[in-house]
Structure 1
Amino acid sequence: MSAGLRLSGSSSTPVYQQIVQQVRFLVEAGELRQGERLPSARQLADNLGVNRNTVAKAYALLRDRGVIETRGAAGTVVTAAADLSLASVRDRASELLAEPVRAAVALGLSPDDVGQLALHLAGQHHAGHPAVVFAECNDERATSFAKDISERLHLDVEPSLITELDDKAADCDLLVTTFFHLAEVRRWARGRSVETVAVVVTPHLQTLMTIASLPAGARVGVRYTTEHQNDQVRDWLADAGSAEVVVVPRDGAVPADLDLLVVPHEHPELGDDAAPATRVVPFGGELDDASVRTLEEVLADIRRRA
């Protein structure tokens, strides 16, 4: 298969996206057939002269889109069949490109030069869709915020743990995180051609109003999956009213005298062992509107520069 792939280092399209696009082309054109086995990520990376993580990322996206799947000892195989209607469109496109390609060859360009130029021009045409990754220390929060940004800005944002940036963000155009992790993310991005931006996460207003309405002396527990989240939510809630706010370790017992136990909305089961008299309230942060607008401006600038 690697003989059918042509990567361009000068293209504005990230390498992993070039692999995804070209594998899909080979499938849709019928050159890769349903059930056909693909080389491993390591083999393809060696053949193409790229990082194995880049190919692994491309394979992961192809799996998500139903183009390929991994079948244990059988390896990675094609699961999608050629789209005959799309094949006819590609035939028509081939007719349209035939004359410009002949003219480019007549000017002295080699077939590889023409292919790289076409790939670069196609990448510029699709530059309206930069590759964006949202990084957090918690998988649930990364997934939730990535989904929120995707829906609000109408683009695909891939979630990533900060510990997985080498695998998931090496070829992205924009790396987004929260201000708490900005310094850590920028240290990772230093020396790489990856732009970084931070967004503000604000607490849900309804939960803050609930805390503010509690009488003086009320006890509120905070139980999250990470120490950072526990501390952040504790500070938010402590500023919201006069209640005493304490952190309840995930592996510890929930005090029976709590009036309220705050748990992450993505993990309501953390409140399952609370006392019957303790009210359990799911809570989470939400992206600040001004931050989303700033992010939109950064993306617009990336598109203009592409």
Structure 2
Amino acid sequence: MSELTVDTASATPVYRQIVEQVRYLVDGGGLRRGDRLPPVRQLADNLGVNRNTVAKAYAMLRELGLIETKGASGTTIAGPAPRKDRLREAVLEAVRGGMSPEEVRDTAYALAQSVGSDVRAVFAECNEERAVAFAKELSERLHADVRPSLLTELGTSTVDAELVVTTFFHLAEVRRWARAAGRAVETVAIVVAPHIRTLMKVAELPANARVGVRYSTPHQAEQVRDWLAAAGPATVEIIGYETTALNPGLTMLVVPSEEPALAAVAAPGTEVVEFGNVLDEGSIRMVGTVLDELRTRSA
């Protein structure tokens, strides 16, 4: 269950985050009937959360009919729950929480009306190209208004924003900015993962191969270097942004797909690979959950 991630700083309870992610994986085919889930203790340790939290999530998933526990088989996926069952579960949970039938009706109507309504969000990064690319992807995937912003421009780009999304590398920086600026804006972080095809190309290189990584920002270069170094036996090194020419002995030069011009320093015979990062699926779902929370509050 490496697909599951949790954000302990989110307004959404951790057990609910687990439930929603498992539900999403079942609906999308990532988890199929009969697939085993890890024991409560193991998943809790993997996520760094309390075991009771995972137990509560599993209990809710059983109530939804999504999982079942059978002796030696452990806990397995039972199959996707019908939409009406999900609605019933949501209504029952609301009533158990103290809402009257009239309140449930009015809230459901307001929420249905708000689906698709704009929640103003900003994706903040230190690199403009990455900010633009990831903001565009989140906008399309989540049907929301997500605008790109540099970290240095948060003061002006977030004037009317309700949510700031960034990478885990910059989360502390964004939260420091929010505190210093006196902004109560919601902040969440996503995981940026390497594109598997690039890792495979590097993994196939022999031990005597040399791979250079050239990025315009040092922390991105270091992150990509670590990813590639873990992929195979080749030697991976960072090529400084200020470098004007490369040693002909370099086997491969890796540059970001959003800045292909960085490959101009490659020597003849050096293979150039444009490295594309992808947003972690679990992180995208988490941002969607936060957006839904904000829409509910607005409603």
Partner of 1:276: 268
The alpha carbon displacement at 1:156 in A equals 1.9
The structure 2 residue matched to 1:286, chosen from 251, 268, 278, is: 278
Unaligned runs of 5+ in 2: 1-109
Number of equivalences: 184
Partner of 1:207: 198
Q: SS of the counterpart of 1:249?
A: coil
Question: 1:186 is matched by which residue type in structure 2?
Answer: R
Q: Tell me if structure 1 keeps the 8 A contact 2:252–2:272.
A: yes
The structure 2 residue matched to 1:181, chosen from 170, 173, 177, is: 170
In structure 1, C-alpha distance between the alignment counterparts of 2:175 and 2:205, rounded to whole Å: 40
Per-residue CA deviation, residues 228-272 of structure 1 (Å, 9 max, x unaligned), is 111111111011111100111122122211000000111112112
Partner of 1:161: 150
Per-residue CA deviation, residues 96-124 of structure 1 (Å, 9 max, x unaligned), is xxxxxxxxxxxxxxxxxxxxxxxxx9xx9
Partner of 1:236: 227
In structure 2, C-alpha distance between the alignment counterparts of 1:296 and 1:234, rounded to whole Å: 30
In structure 1, C-alpha distance between the alignment counterparts of 2:184 and 2:294, rounded to whole Å: 12
In structure 2, C-alpha distance between the alignment counterparts of 1:221 and 1:301, rounded to whole Å: 43
Larger radius of gyration: 1
TM-score computed with the length of structure 2 as normaliser: 0.59
The runs of 4+ residues in structure 1 deviating greater than 3 Å are 124-127
Partner of 1:171: 160
The alpha carbon displacement at 1:127 in A equals 8.4
CA RMSD of aligned residues (A): 1.7
Q: SS of the counterpart of 2:265?
A: coil
Give the share of equivalent positions with the same residue, in percent: 58
Q: SS of the counterpart of 2:248?
A: coil
Partner of 2:210: 219
TM-score computed with the length of structure 1 as normaliser: 0.58
Question: 2:254 is matched by which residue type in structure 1?
Answer: V
Partner of 1:193: 184
Partner of 2:121: 132
Question: 1:261 is matched by which residue type in structure 2?
Answer: L
In structure 1, C-alpha distance between the alignment counterparts of 2:169 and 2:258, rounded to whole Å: 20
The structure 2 residue matched to 1:143, chosen from 120, 132, 149, is: 132
Question: 1:149 is matched by which residue type in structure 2?
Answer: L
Partner of 2:249: 257
In structure 1, C-alpha distance between the alignment counterparts of 2:159 and 2:176, rounded to whole Å: 13
The alpha carbon displacement at 1:170 in A equals 2.8
In structure 2, C-alpha distance between the alignment counterparts of 1:161 and 1:142, rounded to whole Å: 7
In structure 1, C-alpha distance between the alignment counterparts of 2:246 and 2:258, rounded to whole Å: 19
Q: SS of the counterpart of 1:272?
A: helix
Question: 2:202 is matched by which residue type in structure 1?
Answer: I
Q: Does 1:300 align with 2:292?
A: yes
The alpha carbon displacement at 1:186 in A equals 0.6
Partner of 2:56: none
Q: Tell me if structure 1 keeps the 8 A contact 2:195–2:275.
A: yes
Q: Tell me if structure 1 keeps the 8 A contact 2:252–2:270.
A: yes
Q: SS of the counterpart of 1:182?
A: helix
Distance change in 2, residues 1:125/1:274 (3 Å): closer
